[in-house]
Chain A
Amino acid sequence: MSAALASSRTNGSEVVKELAFFAVIALLMSVMLLGVETVDRPTGLELAVRWDLVLIAIGSTVIGRLGLIFRRESISRLWQAVLITVTAVAVFEMFVRFRELDDRWVSPVVLDMAFGSVVSTILAIAFVVIVFATAYFTMKVQGAVEVDQSKKLSAKIQLTYRSNTKKIGLIGIVFFFIFPLLFGDDRSAIDLATLVMIYIMLGWGLNIVVGLAGLLDLGYVAFYAVGAYSYALLSQNFDLSFWLCLPLAGIFAASFGIILGFPVLRLRGDYLAIVTLGFGEIIRVVLINWYDFTGGPDGISSIERPSFFGLADFSRRVPEGAVSFGDLFGLDYSSMHRLIFLYYLILVLALVTNFVTLRLRKLPIGRAWEALREDEIACRSLGINPTNTKLSAFAIGAMFGGFAGAFFATRQGFISPESFTFLESAVILAIVVLGGMGSQIGVVLAAIVMIGFPEMFRELAEYRMLIFGAGIVAIMLWRPRGLLSFRDPTILLNMSQKEKVAGEIK
C-alpha cells in the first residue's frame, strides 16, 4: 500500500511547478479585482492600490494548494492541518484588510506599482519562498503515511445518529419548547430563535419538493411571498383575522403552486430550476410594479398582529371590548408576551410541517415522490401519474411556504418585495442542500448554521453572503448529497433500523 503510494508520488520539482502555476493563476485573478479598487471621487472614478491583498491571495492559494497536494500524496495529517490553518489565517487577514480600505488611498497608481510598500513585498516573497522550499523538501523526504482512522469514526457516528434519529428529534423538540423558559427575558435571543424557526419551516417545506420529490425549485420564495401578501391584503382589505387568514394563505400559495407547476413540471431538472427561478422573479417584479394593489416597492405596513387565538390581545393599549393577554392570565403587561407567543406559534407551525412530511413519507404519495426522484420512467411504467405526483409535492411544499409567509407578515408587521428576492430562495435551498436532501434534522442543523451563526457574529455580516456562497460550493464538493444525507427506509420487513444502518455502513 505505502509502496504503491510512494511510487505514485510526484517529485519535488513537479510540486514546485504546480505551485508556481497556481501562484500565477492567483496573481492574474486577483491583480485587478483585489489589487485595485475603484474609488468614487467627485471628479469621477479613481484608483486605489492594495498590492498586499494580491500577495495574500497568492500566498493563501499556494498554501492551500500545498495542503491539497499533501492530502493527495498522503503526507502527515499534522502538516495538512498546519497548512489549512495558515491558509485560513491568511484569508482572514485579507478580510480584515478589506475593512481598512477607505483609509488606504495611494496615488498615482503607476508610481505605486513601481515602489509600493517594499517591506511587505519582500516579506511576502520570503514567505512564499519558504513555502516552496518546504514543499520541495517534504516531497523529497516523503512524510509518513498515516492510517486513516477517520473513516471508522465517521461510521460509528453515523450508526449512532441513524439508529437514534427519533430520540435526537425528540430532544430537539423539547429543547425548542423550553427555549423561552431559558432565555425568556432575552429579547434578541427569542427574536433570533423565531427567525431561525421560520427558516427551519421554510426548509422543511422546500424539503418536500427538493429532498423528497427531487424537483429543484429556485423560486420557492414566491410562495412565501404569496402567503405574506395574502395575509397582509386580506387583513387590510377585508379585516379578516390572522387565524382565518393563515389557512387561506396556505391555500392561496398551494393554488399558486399548482398553477405555476402544471405547465412546467414535465421539464427536466435544471430547466425546471430555471423556470421556477423565472416565476419567482416574475412574482417579485409584479409585486414591485402593481402599485395600487401591493403598495409597490413601499410594501404594506402596519399589518395586524395576531391575537391570542382571538381570545386576548397582546397590545399595551387594548382596543375597546377586547381582553388583554395579561388580564386573561393575570399577568402584568410585558412586550415579551407577544414575542414568546410568536415563537411558539412558528414552532408549532414548523412542527406541523415536520410531522405532516414525516407521515406523508410513509404514505403512497410520499413513496411515489421518492420513486419519482429515483426514476421517472420506471414510475410511469408502474402507472404512477408523474405530473400529478409532482404537482402534489409542489402544492404541499408551497402551502407550507404560504403558512410561513403569513407568519412572517404578522411578525414583521411590514412586508415589501425586498424580502422576497432570489437570494432568499437560494438561502432556503442552501439550507435544504446543506442539511442533506430529505433529512429533517439536517434542515434544523443547517438553518442554525446558516441563519443563527451569521446573526450572532454580526461583525462579519458583510462577509456573510461571501462565506455562504463559498460554503455551498465547499459542501457540494465535500458531500454532494448534503451533511446528513441518509435515507431511512419507510418500512422494514425483517430488520431493525439499527441492523439496516449497520449493514449499509459495512
Chain B
Amino acid sequence: MTDNKLLEVEHLTMRFGGLVAIDNLSFNANKREITAIIGPNGAGKTTVFNCLTGFYVPTEGRLTLHAEDGPRLLERTEGFRIPRNNGVARTFQNIRLFTGMTVLENLIVAQHNRLMEASAFSIAGLFNLGSYAKAEKEAVEKAKFWLEKVGLYEQADWNAGNLPYGSQRRLEIARAMCTDPSLLCLDEPAAGLNPRESAELNILLQSIRDDQGVGCLLIEHDMSVVMQISDHVVVLDYGKKIADGDPEAVKNDPAVIRAYLGEEEDDELPPEVAADLHLDPKAH
C-alpha cells in the first residue's frame, strides 16, 4: 500500500482571511487508481485542487507527490512549475479551453514545454531546423492519439469554442493528458453531460487509469460516475474529511449520509467521525 502511494496530503489547511476553506485534511491517492473527492457544495473540494495545482499556496500542511524519481513537495513549488516539473495536470469546473484556437492547437499548446526545448527557445524553430520539425511531428502524433481517444479527430480543425459542451469536456481532458501527467485532477468532468456522454466519460477515465497508468483525482457530484469508476472515495464537508474508504463503505457511512441529507435532531457527530476529525493522533 505505501509503495503504491502517488499523492500524500497531510494536514492541509487553507484559510482565506477568517474563512477556513480546508481544515487539517489528510488523505492519500494511489497510483493507477481513481480517487474521488466528494462532498456537498462549498465543502472545499476545488480548493484542494487549487492547492495541488499551485493556484493557491496552502496555509499549512504538506502535499507530497511520489513521482518516478522520488517524492516532490508540491506546496513548495511555484504555480506553473507543478504541471511542468511534477506532472500534475488538471481540468476546470467551468471549462477553460483556448476557445479561439483550434482543437489541435489546444493539444499542441499543452505540449509547450517539450516543444519549447526542441525549438531551442525558438532559435532552432525560427530557422526550421530538423530537430524541431521532428519534435513538432511527434507532438501532432500525440495530439492525434488523444483526438482519437476522445473521439474528436474529425473536429481537429474546428475552433475549440465551437465544439458542443460534452466534446469540450473531453477535449479538456485530452489537453491535460497531453502534458504527460502522473496525476490527473478532474474537476467535475461529468457536470452537464447526458447519460450517454457520462458513460463514455467513465470508459475514458478507466482507460486513462488502466492503459496510461495515470492516477486520477476526481471531484464529482454525479454519484453514478463516482460509484462506478472510483477505487477510493474521500468525503469532505465544511473543509473537513468525514469519510475515507472504498465506494461501498463510504456510501453506507452515516456521517456521509448526514452531510448530504442533513439530520436535524442530532447535532452531535457519531463517535467514529469525531475520532476521525479531532482525535487524529497525527494532527497533534
Q: Name A's B-contacting residues (CB within 8 A).
A: 356, 359-360, 363-365, 367-368, 370-371, 374-375, 377-386, 392, 487, 489-495, 500, 503-504
Stretch of B6-14, B81-89, B242-250, B252-260 with 4 or more beta carbons under 8 angstroms from chain A: B81-89
If the complex has contacts A365-B116, A493-B104, A500-B157, are A383 and B83 also in contact, measured as CB distance less than 8 A? Answer: yes
Set of chain A residues within 8 Å of B98, measured between Cβ atoms: 370-371, 374-375, 378
Set of chain A residues within 8 Å of B132, measured between Cβ atoms: 363
If the complex has contacts A374-B101, A380-B80, are A363 and B119 also in contact, measured as CB distance less than 8 A? Answer: yes
Set of chain A residues within 8 Å of B144, measured between Cβ atoms: 493
B215 interface residue (CB < 8 Å to A): no
Question: For the complex, what is the distance from the CA of A381 to the CA of B79, rounded to whole Å?
Answer: 8
B92 interface residue (CB < 8 Å to A): yes
B145 interface residue (CB < 8 Å to A): no
- The answer to whether B81 touches A374, judged by C-beta atoms less than 8 angstroms apart, is no
C-beta contact mask, B85-104 vs A, less than 8 Å → 1, else 0?
A: 10001101000111111101
- Rank and list the top 9 A-B pairs by shortest CB-CB distance, nearest first: A383-B84, A383-B83, A364-B115, A378-B96, A374-B98, A363-B125, A493-B156, A495-B157, A380-B80
Question: For the complex, what is the distance from the CA of A487 to the CA of B156, rounded to whole Å?
Answer: 16
- Say which residue of A363, A378, A492 sits within 8 Å of B97 (CB atoms): A378
- Say which residue of B97, B154, B179 sits within 8 Å of A375 (CB atoms): B97
Question: For the complex, what is the distance from the CA of A66 to the CA of B186, rounded to whole Å?
Answer: 55
Interface residues of B in 113-151 (CB under 8 A from A): 113, 115-116, 119, 121-122, 125-126, 128, 132, 140, 144
Knowing that A383-B113, A493-B156 are A-B contacts, what are 7 other residue pairs whose CB atoms are under 8 Å apart, sorted by A's residue number?
A356-B126, A383-B81, A383-B82, A384-B109, A385-B84, A492-B104, A494-B153
Set of chain B residues within 8 Å of A377, measured between Cβ atoms: 55, 92, 96
B33 interface residue (CB < 8 Å to A): no
- Say which residue of A356, A364, A492, A493 sits within 8 Å of B112 (CB atoms): A364
- Say which residue of A382, A491, A493, A495 sits within 8 Å of B83 (CB atoms): A382
- Say which residue of A356, A382, A384, A492 sits within 8 Å of B157 (CB atoms): A492
- The answer to whether B92 touches A378, judged by C-beta atoms less than 8 angstroms apart, is yes
Q: How far is the CB of B44 from chain A (nearest CB, A)?
A: 19
Q: How far is the CB of A247 from chain B (nearest CB, A)?
A: 16
- Residues of B contacting A: mostly: mixed
- Say which residue of A356, A368, A392, A492 sits within 8 Å of B102 (CB atoms): A492
- The answer to whether A360 touches B157, judged by C-beta atoms less than 8 angstroms apart, is no
Chain A residue at minimal CB-CB distance from B78: A385
Question: For the complex, what is the distance from the CA of A386 to the CA of B109, rounded to whole Å?
Answer: 13
- The answer to whether A490 touches B112, judged by C-beta atoms less than 8 angstroms apart, is no
Question: For the complex, what is the distance from the CA of A500 to the CA of B55, rounded to whole Å?
Answer: 36
Chain B residue at minimal CB-CB distance from A381: B90
B54 interface residue (CB < 8 Å to A): yes
- The answer to whether A491 touches B104, judged by C-beta atoms less than 8 angstroms apart, is yes
- The answer to whether A491 touches B112, judged by C-beta atoms less than 8 angstroms apart, is no
- The answer to whether A363 touches B81, judged by C-beta atoms less than 8 angstroms apart, is no
Chain A residue at minimal CB-CB distance from B96: A378
Question: For the complex, what is the distance from the CA of A503 to the CA of B103, rounded to whole Å?
Answer: 15
Q: How far is the CB of B111 from chain A (nearest CB, A)?
A: 8
Set of chain B residues within 8 Å of A379, measured between Cβ atoms: 80, 109
C-beta contact mask, B192-204 vs A, less than 8 Å → 1, else 0?
A: 0000000000000
Set of chain A residues within 8 Å of B96, measured between Cβ atoms: 375, 377-378, 381
- Say which residue of B55, B100, B122 sits within 8 Å of A374 (CB atoms): B100
Question: For the complex, what is the distance from the CA of A9 to the CA of B79, rounded to whole Å?
Answer: 55
- The answer to whether B157 touches A493, judged by C-beta atoms less than 8 angstroms apart, is yes
Q: List 28 A-B contacts (CB under 8 A).
A: A356-B126, A360-B122, A363-B119, A364-B108, A364-B115, A364-B116, A364-B125, A365-B122, A367-B112, A371-B101, A371-B109, A371-B112, A377-B55, A381-B80, A381-B83, A382-B112, A383-B85, A384-B80, A385-B80, A385-B84, A489-B101, A489-B102, A489-B105, A491-B102, A491-B108, A492-B102, A494-B154, A503-B158
Question: For the complex, what is the distance from the CA of A385 to the CA of B112, rounded to whole Å?
Answer: 10
- Residues of A contacting B: mostly: helix
- The answer to whether A382 touches B101, judged by C-beta atoms less than 8 angstroms apart, is no
Q: How far is the CB of B65 from chain A (nearest CB, A)?
A: 14
Chain B residue at minimal CB-CB distance from A359: B126
- The answer to whether B156 touches A382, judged by C-beta atoms less than 8 angstroms apart, is no
- The answer to whether A363 touches B109, judged by C-beta atoms less than 8 angstroms apart, is no
B53 interface residue (CB < 8 Å to A): yes
Question: For the complex, what is the distance from the CA of A365 to the CA of B119, rounded to whole Å?
Answer: 9
Q: How far is the CB of B116 from chain A (nearest CB, A)?
A: 5
Chain A residue at minimal CB-CB distance from B49: A381
- Say which residue of B82, B113, B156 sits within 8 Å of A494 (CB atoms): B156
Q: How far is the CB of A502 from chain B (nearest CB, A)?
A: 12
Set of chain A residues within 8 Å of B92, measured between Cβ atoms: 377-378, 381
C-beta contact mask, B171-182 vs A, less than 8 Å → 1, else 0?
A: 000011001000
- The answer to whether B157 touches A380, judged by C-beta atoms less than 8 angstroms apart, is no
Set of chain A residues within 8 Å of B112, measured between Cβ atoms: 364, 367-368, 371, 382-384
Chain B residue at minimal CB-CB distance from A489: B102
Question: For the complex, what is the distance from the CA of A490 to the CA of B115, rounded to whole Å?
Answer: 15
B273 interface residue (CB < 8 Å to A): no
B59 interface residue (CB < 8 Å to A): no
- Say which residue of A368, A380, A492, A495 sits within 8 Å of B109 (CB atoms): A368
B43 interface residue (CB < 8 Å to A): no
Q: How far is the CB of B118 from chain A (nearest CB, A)?
A: 8
B110 interface residue (CB < 8 Å to A): yes
- Say which residue of A359, A378, A385, A490 sits within 8 Å of B105 (CB atoms): A490
Which residue of B80, B97, B104, B176 has the most chain A CB atoms within 10 A of its CB atom?
A: B80
Chain A residue at minimal CB-CB distance from B128: A359
Question: For the complex, what is the distance from the CA of A375 to the CA of B96, rounded to whole Å?
Answer: 7
Question: For the complex, what is the distance from the CA of A360 to the CA of B132, rounded to whole Å?
Answer: 13
Set of chain B residues within 8 Å of A371, measured between Cβ atoms: 98, 101, 109, 112
Chain A residue at minimal CB-CB distance from B185: A381
Question: For the complex, what is the distance from the CA of A385 to the CA of B84, rounded to whole Å?
Answer: 9
- Say which residue of A364, A382, A392 sits within 8 Å of B179 (CB atoms): A382
- The answer to whether A493 touches B140, judged by C-beta atoms less than 8 angstroms apart, is yes
Set of chain A residues within 8 Å of B47, measured between Cβ atoms: none
- The answer to whether B108 touches A367, judged by C-beta atoms less than 8 angstroms apart, is yes
B159 interface residue (CB < 8 Å to A): yes
Set of chain A residues within 8 Å of B83, measured between Cβ atoms: 380-383
Q: How far is the CB of A186 from chain B (nearest CB, A)?
A: 37
